[in-house]
Amino acid sequence: MLLIIMLTLISGPHPLLQEQALRRPLPCWTIDGSDHPENPVDILHYDLAIEVFRDIQEIYGITGITMTSAGTTVSDIRLDLRQLTVDSVWDATGDLAFHQQDDSLFITLSSPLAPADTAELFVAYGGFPYHESWGGFWFHPYITYHIGVGIYTPGQCMGKCMFPCWDFQNDKATYDFHITCPDTLYAVANGDSAGVDYEAGKATFHWTFDQPLPTYLVTMAVGEYAVLHDSTDSRIYYYVYEWEIDDALGSFTNVDLMLANLESLYGPYPWDCRFSLVETPNGDMEHTSAIAHWANAVNGNNYWDWLIAHEMTHHWWGCCVSHADWQSIWLKESFATYGEALWMETYGEDEYTEYMVQSIMIPYLNSGELFPVAYPETPAQIFSYTTYEKAASVLHMLRYVLGDQDFFDSMNWLFQQHMYGLITNQDFHDAVEYVTGEDIDWFMDTWIYDWGYPVYDITSSWTGTLDAWELTVELSQVQTTGPVFEMPLEFLVQGVSQDTLVTMWNDSAYQAQSYQVSFEPVDVVFDPYSHILCGNVLTGIEGPSSPPGGLGTVHLGPNPCRGSATVIWPGTENWDLTVTVYDMSGRTCLRGRLVPGERTLDVSSLPPATYLLDIRGEGSTRQSARLVVLE
Ligand SMILES: [Zn+2]
C-alpha cells in the first residue's frame, strides 16, 4: 500500500490584508549607505519645547541637547533635521556658528569638547514639518501627531522631522517634553506626565522619559483626547478621541492581560513609566510607552487585539533591546509578530497553532518571497513578509527544536544581556548557544542566512501482521531554491483506534526511515502540530508555476498616481494577474485582470484617496500593496 501524504490547509480571505499593506508600502530607494556611522558625541538628553500651530500647520521649537564626547576631542557636530529652518544656536557662552545643508545641521562648538566633558547647547527652529505617506509629522484635521519611522524615507528614522537630533538608534538618550497648544486640546508624549501650565488660552504639557531611547521611538500627539485609565492595571492609560470613549472601552478589555502575559514571558515591563495607547489616524507604531494606535482599530470589539499584542511586544523587543541596523529588523519584528501568536496561546494551544498557520505562515508562503531573513536588500524587503512572518515562524520553529524551557530561557538571557542596548544576529545566535550549550549553526545557517523554505515530497508504506508492523517513510526535499534544511520532522501514525508519533531527524535531500508499530496504520500525517514552515502547509507539493528564482516584491508606479498605475511584479511577467482594489474601510472598489504584456491598471474611476491592492498571480501567490490616487 502506498499513499502520498498531503497537508492541505486552504487559505481563507486574508484577515490581515489591511495591516499587511499598511506596514508594507512601496519604497523606491536603496538602503546602501543609509546607515549612520558612529556618532562622535554621545547625546545624553534632549529637552524639547515645541509649540503647535494647527491653523498654519507649523511648529516652532527649542531643543536643548546635553552631550558628552564619545571618545575623541570634538569641535564640530552634525545633527539631522529635515525641512525645518534653524533660527539660532547658542550655549552658555553665547551664539554658535551653524549652517544647514540638506537634512544636516552643522554646529561649531564654542570650545572643543574633550573626552568625558559634557556640553549643553540649544537650537531654535521652526516651519512646516515633513511627513511621507506613513512616517513624519502630521497635521490631521483634528489630531497633530508624529510617527517616528519612515517607510519611504532612507534611513527610516524620522525624529529629524520633529527636532534636531542624531537620528539613528546607535545613540540613545533621555527626554523632556514641553508641548504648547490651545488650552482646549490635550498633548501626550513618551513617558509620564509632569504637569500642565495654562496661560493666555494656551496649555503647555510637560512629559518626561528618563530611560535611554532612540529617536525613532519618540512621539507626541495633540488633539481632543479623552484620558482613560485602566481599572485593573494602574500603569495603563488610553488617549482616545473624545467621541470614541465607548468604542475604546469595548476594544481595550484585554490590554491588562496582554501586559501580564508578556511580563510572564520576558520579565517585568522594562520602562519606569506608564504604558499607553494613543489613538491616531494612520496605523500602529510602537513609540515607547505611547503607542500610536490606529483609529479604525478602536471599534468597540477585540478584533484588533493581535495588533496591540504586536506593538506591546516591541516594548521588550525593539524599544528596549534594539536592532543594530535596519537590515537586522527581523530581530524586533520576529518577536512582535510572534507576540501576536503568543497572545493567542493564552486562549489555548489550538488557537496558537491556528494563528501561526493562518496568519503568519500562509501569508509568508503566499508572498512568493524567498530572500534570506538576514539579508533584506531593498526597503521593500525590510518591511516584508520575510522579516515579519518568516522570522516569526523561525522563532516558532526554534521553540519546537529547543523546547519551551530552553527557548524562553535563551530569549530571556538575550534580553537581559542587552537591555537598553543593541543586538545583532550574532548576539541572538550566541545567546541560544550559551544557554543551551548546543551548536545551532545548522538551524541559523539555513533559516536565517539562507534562502527559501523546504518543500517535502513524502510517501509512506507499511507491511506486517496483527501487532507487528513496519512503517517506512520516504522523504525528499524538492524545493528549487534554498539549501537542504535540517529539521526534526514528526509523523502521526494513525490506526483504527490508536495512534503514535514518530520522528525523523531529516538532514539530507532524500531520506528513508523505518519504524516498528504495534498496530496497523491507516494513515500517516506529516507535521501534525504545524511546527515546520514548509511549502506543504499550502499545497503538499511545490506548485509548478513558481519561477526558479522566486518572485520579487510588487511595485506600483507612479505612486501616488493620476488615472492609472503600472503594476510591476518581478517573476510574474508571463502570468495573468488578478487585482482587487479596496478602500481603507475594506470595501471593494475595483477588480480587474492584467494579462501578460499589459500591466497598466486604470484607476480613473476612483476618487482621490489611499487604496489597498490585493494582487494574485498563479497558484496561490499573492501580494498586497498600497496605492495613493490623486485628483
Ligand atoms: Zn512591528
- DSSP alpha helices (H): ranges in 439-582? 441-447
CA distance 611 to 603: 10
pLDDT at 15 over 60: no
DSSP label at residue 165: B
Residue 611's pLDDT band (cuts 50, 70, 90) = confident
Span from the CA of 333 to the centroid of ligand 1 (angstroms): 5
Quote the ligand 1 centre to 340 CA distance (angstroms).
10
Q: Which of 25, 19, 86 is nearest to 556 (CA)?
A: 25
The identity of residue 365, as a single letter, is L
Find out if CATH 2.60.40.1730 is the number for domain 41-223: yes
Which residue matches cell numbers 497598466? 600
Q: How far is the CA of 310 from the centre of ligand 1 (A)?
A: 6
Residue 416 CA to ligand 1 centre (angstroms)? 21
Reply yes or no: is the peptide bond before residue 560 cis, omega within 30 of 0: yes
pLDDT reported for residue 41: 92
- Whole-number Å distance, alpha carbon 337 to ligand 1 midpoint, is 7
Q: How far is the CA of 198 from the centre of ligand 1 (A)?
A: 37
Q: How far is the CA of 317 from the centre of ligand 1 (A)?
A: 9
What's the grid cell of residue 474?
A: 520516504
pLDDT greater than 80 at residue 208: yes
Res. 540 pLDDT band, cuts 50 70 90? very low
Specify the pLDDT at position 404.
Answer: 97
Residue 19 CA, ligand 1 centroid: distance in Å: 11
Q: How confident is the model at residue 169 (pLDDT cuts 50, 70, 90)?
A: confident
Angle at 138 between CA 137 and CA 141, to 5 degrees: 160
Beta bridge partner(s), residue 43? 67
Ligand 1 centre and the CA of 412: distance in Å?
Answer: 19
How many A from CA of 487 to the centre of ligand 1? 28
Give the rounded distance of the alpha carbon of 433 from its chain centre.
26
Q: Indicate whether 241 pLDDT > 80.
A: yes
| Strands 85-91 vs 118-127: parallel, antiparallel or unpaired | antiparallel
- Give the tens place of pLDDT for each residue, 410-443: 999 999 999 999 999 999 999 999 999 999 999 9
Count other Cβ atoms within 10 Å, centred on residue 291: 24
Question: What 8-state DSSP symbol labels residue 386?
Answer: I
Please give the distance, rounded to the nearest whole angstrom, from the Cα atom of residue 431 to the centre of ligand 1. 22
pLDDT of residue 483: 96
CA of 79 to the centre of ligand 1 (A): 27
How remote is the CA of residue 125 from the centroid of ligand 1, in Å? 31
CA–centroid distance, residue 311 to ligand 1 (Å)? 6
Q: What is the pLDDT of residue 30?
A: 41
CA of 134 to the centre of ligand 1 (A): 14
Contact 10, 540 (CB under 8 A): no
473 and 557 Cβ atoms separated by less than 8 Å: no
Same fold, 321-447 and 453-537: no
Instruction: For residue 336, report the distance from its CA to the centre of ligand 1, in Å.
Output: 6
Report the separation in Å between the CA atom of 148 and the middle of ligand 1, taken as the mean of its atom positions: 13
CATH code of the domain made up of 453-537: 2.60.40
Rounded to the nearest angstrom, the distance between the alpha carbon of 502 and the centre of ligand 1 is 37
Q: How far is the CA of 174 from the centre of ligand 1 (A)?
A: 22
C-alpha cell at 155: 534611513
Cα(313) to ligand 1 centroid in Å equals 8
* Distance from residue 93's CA to the centre of ligand 1 (Å): 44
Q: How many CB atoms lie within 10 A of CB 485?
A: 26
How much distance in Å is there from the Cα of 181 to the middle of ligand 1? 30
Q: What DSSP designation does 433 have?
A: H
Q: How many angstroms is it from 147 CA to the middle of ligand 1?
A: 13
Query: Ligand 1 center to residue 306 CA distance, Å?
Result: 11
Q: Model confidence at 17, in pLDDT bands (50, 70, 90)?
A: very low
What digits encode the pLDDT tens for the residues 256-280?
A: 999 999 999 999 999 999 999 999 9
Distance 24 CA to ligand 1 centre (A): 11
CA–centroid distance, 420 to ligand 1, in Å, is: 18
Kindly give the distance from the C-alpha atom of residue 314 to the centroid of ligand 1, in angstroms, as a whole number.
7
Distance from Cα 548 to the centre of ligand 1, integer Å: 30
Report how far ligand 1's centroid is from the alpha carbon of 415 (Å): 17
Our measurement of the distance from residue 434's CA atom to the centroid of its chain's CA atoms, rounded to an integer in Å, reads 27
Q: Report the separation in Å between the CA atom of 332 and the middle of ligand 1, taken as the mean of its atom positions.
A: 7
Quote the ligand 1 centre to 293 CA distance (angstroms). Answer: 12
Write out the three cell numbers for 490.
514528526
252 C-alpha to ligand 1 centroid (Å): 19
C-alpha 367/C-alpha 307 separation (Å) is 20
Q: Which three cell numbers stand for residue 143?
A: 489630531
Name the percent of the chain lying above pLDDT 70.
90
Q: Quick one: average pLDDT of 60-76?
A: 95
| Contact criterion met (CB below 8 Å) for 499 and 521 | no
Residue 435 burial (CB count, 10 A): 19
Q: Is 256 helix (H, G, I), strand (E, B) or coil?
A: helix
Nearest to 545 by CA among 522, 577, 516: 577
Ligand 1 center to residue 328 CA distance, Å?
A: 13
Residue 63: the pLDDT is 98
> What is the four-CA torsion angle of 147, 150, 153, 154, rounded to 10 degrees?
120
Burial of 255 (0-12, 13-18, 19+ CB in 10 A): buried
CATH architecture for the domain at 555-629: Sandwich (2.60)
Task: Answer whether 216's CB lies under 8 Å from 159's CB.
Answer: yes
Distance 43 CA to ligand 1 centre (A): 26
Q: How far is the CA of 286 from the centre of ligand 1 (A)?
A: 7
Tell me the CA–centroid distance for residue 191 and ligand 1, in Å: 20
pLDDT in tens, 84-135: 999 999 999 999 999 999 999 999 999 999 998 999 999 999 999 999 888 9
Q: How far, in Å, CA of 428 to CA of 272, rounded?
A: 26
Higher-confidence residue of 168 and 270: namely 270
Going from N- to C-terminal start, the domains of the chain cover: 41-223, 321-447, 453-537, 555-629
Q: How far is the CA of 586 from the centre of ligand 1 (A)?
A: 22
Sign of CA dihedral 162, 166, 172, 176: negative
Architecture of domain 321-447: Orthogonal Bundle (1.10)
Model confidence pLDDT, tens digit, residues 571-595: 788 888 888 776 654 556 777 888 8
Stretch 377-384: mean pLDDT: 82
155 CA from centroid of ligand 1 (Å): 17
Question: Mean of the pLDDT values across residues 12-20?
Answer: 34
- Rounded to whole angstroms, how far apart are CA atoms 266 and 314? 11
3-state class (DSSP) for residue 258? helix
**Across the chain, what does the average pLDDT equal?**
88
Q: How far is the CA of 171 from the centre of ligand 1 (A)?
A: 21
- Centre of ligand 1 to C-alpha 379, Å, is 15
Check: CB of residue 486 under 8 Å from CB of residue 515.
Answer: no
pLDDT exceeds 50 at position 26: no
Classify 611 as helix, strand or coil.
strand
Find out whether 318 and 286 touch, Cβ atoms under 8 Å.
Answer: yes
What is the distance between the alpha carbons of residues 442 and 458, in angstroms, rounded to a whole number? 22
- ipTM (interface predicted TM): 0.99
* Residue 620: per-residue pLDDT: 59
Q: How far is CA 319 from CA 79, 151, 285, 287, 332, in A?
A: 22, 18, 11, 8, 9
